[in-house]
Structure 1
Amino acid sequence: MKLRQLAAFLLALTIFILPRAAQAQSKYYAPPLSFSNAELTRRDFSGQILRSAEFSNANMDLTNFSKADLRGAIMSASVMTQANLHGANLTNAMIDQVKFTNADLSDAILVETILLRSTFDGVNITGADFTDSIMDGAQIKELCGKASGVNSQTGVDTRDSLGCR
């Protein structure tokens, strides 16, 4: 478990911290949107470009992120009960300690995403692509029990992306 945590830290450092430090030195740098600690229940972010946006400690129950571009977003320690993430692109996102109870992650792209300590009770992952995501064994086992379909954008089989046997 410690090796996996070290890998998650190094990935976070590479993806989130170092690029932002370099951007901060540029005169054209625009800070990412921040919705940290926000009450976002029932908000509609469908189809929006929210790259590198921060949603830490946010309540996103029933929030619509369908087909949103959330690449590099940070959603740590948030609640996403019944959230709609159908077709959302969450590549390189940090989604640790998020409660996805009854959420729709169908056809979502979660490539190289950190999902440690997130829960997936009743989640729909049909066609989701989890290629190279960082999860613990229990999460993978749970998701393999409900995995099916092929992602319409990447062409990757959900079971293959999770490494299901």
Structure 2
Amino acid sequence: MALGLGLMLGLLAGVLTAGAGPAAADFSGVDYTLTNQSGKDFSGQDLANTSFAGASGRQADFSSANLHGAILTQAAFPEASFAGADLSGVLMDKVDFSGADFSGANLSDVIAAGSNFSGATVTDADFSGALLDRVDQRLLCRDAEGTHPVTGADTRLSLGC
């Protein structure tokens, strides 16, 4: 038994000294429908194709998360951070994003009809191909500036300002 424990400890030491950092958890495809995720930390997580339909996520942190293809319809994410997140292809109709931070986020090809973006920050965000209400588009254009760091899209141009 001691030899087995020693071997295990040796292997563990090798893994720990190999320089590999902790891997981000993969929550892709998880169903968070109608749940309360307020204040939760999802930063850097793989949440592709998940459902947050009808969920509450006040001040949740989705910074640098992969939410590609997720469903956020009829949810509430006021004051949440989506900074640097991949929201491409997300269905986000009728969502409260008031005061949310989308700095450097990729929102290309989102469907966001009926959503509330009042007070949202969109510096360096990419909205290429996004479907937004005209009122939201005009509101976002007032403070839009910068260029998305990955896609190179000009924020104002991607919004059609």
> Where on the TM-score scale, by shorter chain, does this alignment land: which range?
0.7 to 0.9
Q: Distance in 2 between matches of 1:56 and 1:136?
A: 20
- Pick from 57, 62, 70 the counterpart of residue 60 of structure 1: 57
TM-score normalized by structure 1? Answer: 0.79
- Output the amino acid matched with 1:70: L
Secondary structure in 1 matching 2:39? coil
| Structure 1 partner of 2:36 | 39
For residues 41 and 150 of structure 2, what CA distance do their matches in structure 1 show?
22
Q: Whole-Å Cα distance in 1 between the matches of residues 136 and 52 of structure 2?
A: 22
Q: Which amino acid aligns with 1:77?
A: Q
Tell me the CA shift for residue 138 of structure 1: 1.3
Q: How high is the sequence identity, in percent, across the aligned residues?
A: 37
- Structure-2 separation of matches of 1:45 and 1:148: 26
Displacement of 1:148 after TM fit? 0.6
Matched AA of 1:65: F
Cα-Cα RMSD: 1.0
Distance 1:96 1:124 in 2: 18
Structure 1 gaps of 5+ residues are 1-30
Alignment match, 1:132: 129
Based on CA coordinates, which of the two structures has the bigger radius of gyration? 2
Mapped to 2, the partners of 1:144 and 1:87 lie a distance apart of: 19
Deviation at 1:34, TM superposition (A): 0.3
The more displaced of 132-141 and 34-43 is 132-141
Q: Specify the alignment match of 2:21 in structure 1.
A: none
Residues 13-57 of structure 1 show CA distances to partners (whole Å, capped at 9, x for unaligned) of xxxxxxxxxxxxxxxxxx821000001011100000011000001
* Among 70, 73, 84, the residue aligned to 2:70: 73
Q: Distance in 2 between matches of 1:78 and 1:136?
A: 17
Which residue number corresponds to residue 15 of structure 1? none
Kindly provide the CA deviation profile for residues 98-155 of structure 1, in whole angstroms up to 9, marking residues without a partner as x: 1111110110000100010001111100011000001121111111111111111111
| TM-score normalized by the length of structure 2 | 0.81
Aligned residues: 134
